[in-house]
Amino acid sequence: MTFKIELVNVNLHDFDVRESDLYSYDFFEPYCLQLIDDHIELKNLSKPKSGGVFVDFVNGKLAWRRLHGGGNGQPIAKAVFSKKKEKPSVFDATGGLGRDAFVLASLGCTVTMFERNEIVRILLTDGLRRGYEDPEIGQMLKARLQLSSHRTIMELGDEKMCDVVYLDPMYPKKNSSALVKKDMQAFHDIVGLDLDADKLLVKAMKIARMRVSVKRPKGAEYLANVKSNSFIETKSHRFDIYVPNLLQP
C-alpha cells in the first residue's frame, strides 16, 4: 500500500508549490504536513509519538551553531570560502532543510537555495518566513538567505552566475538508512536517494566562478568519480573542493 502526502491546516496558497508534483510522490508510510502552533511539521501519522521534522533557523541547534559553532574555523566555512577574501555568493543546489545554507549565511555569505522536492520546499519556505520575522536574525536572513523559485540549478543557463556552488546530495547507499538518525528518517523517506547527483557536479562546474564544494560521507567515492583538487575531512564527512578553472569533469 502506498500513500500520498496529507495536508493538515496547511494552505497551499501560502506557498510557491507545484500541486501536481506535490501529490506525485508515493510513500510506504502515511506522512502529513501539519501546522502545529506557529510552524509546519512533516510527521509520520503511523508514529504519532515520534517528533516531526521542521525548519527552525531561530532556535535550537542552528541558533547554537550560529552563536557557538566556531565561526570561520568550521570545516564547512573552510570548504566554501577563504578567510582573507570577501564572502562569496553561494548557490546551495541541494537546499534540504537549509541547515548548511543557514550556517554559510550567518557567516556572511549570500546564499540562494535550490530545492526540487515540493514537500521540502514547503518546510523551507515556512522556516524562512519565521526566520525573516525574527527581531534578532530577520534582517540578516532577508539579506543573505533565499529560496530560488527554480527547483534546480539544472534549469539555469551555463554562464557563470555565482562564486561558489555547494552540493550535499543524499548519499545513495542502500544500507545508509540504518545510519540515519531517528528524527531524520521522515526526511530521508520523503526525499529518497539522489541518484542523479553526478549531473549536479558537471552543471555546478559551469556556473561557479571560484569553487564547487561537495559534502560527502567520509570514505565515500567522489561525486561523478571526479577527483577533487583538495578536500577537508571531519569525523564523519569530507568536503571535496573543485576549482572550475583547474579542472573540467
Q: What is the DSSP letter of 49?
A: T
Q: According to the binding rule CB under 6 A, does residue 170 interact with ligand SAM?
A: yes
Q: According to the binding rule CB under 6 A, does residue 240 interact with ligand SAM?
A: no
Cell of 50: 515520534
Answer for the pair 199, 217: CB distance below 8 angstroms, yes or no: no
Closest to 67 measured CA to CA, from 111, 106, 110: 106
Cell of 241: 573542493
CA separation for the pair 13, 87 (Å, rounded): 35
With CB under 6 A as the contact rule, the residue among 122, 168, 216, 244 that binds ligand SAM is 168
CA separation for the pair 52, 45 (Å, rounded): 10
Nearest-approach distance from CB 84 to ligand SAM, in angstroms = 26
Nearest-approach distance from CB 218 to ligand SAM, in angstroms = 15
Q: According to the binding rule CB under 6 A, does residue 117 interact with ligand SAM?
A: yes
Q: According to the binding rule CB under 6 A, does residue 99 interact with ligand SAM?
A: yes
Q: According to the binding rule CB under 6 A, does residue 100 interact with ligand SAM?
A: yes
Amino acid identity, residue 185? Q
Q: Which stretch binds ligand SAM (CB under 6 A): 8-16, 74-82, 147-155, 233-241?
A: 147-155
Residue closer to ligand SAM, measured from CB, 120 or 210: 120
How remote is the C-alpha of 117 from its chain's centroid? 11
Residue closest to ligand SAM (Cβ)? 96
55 to 94, contacts with ligand SAM by CB under 6 A?
A: 93-94
Which residue reads 558537471 in cell numbers?
Answer: 202
Residue closer to ligand SAM, measured from CB, 43 or 49: 43
CA separation for the pair 75, 86 (Å, rounded): 18
Which positions lie near ligand SAM, rule CB under 6 A?
93-94, 96-100, 114-117, 120, 151-152, 154, 168-170, 191, 194, 200
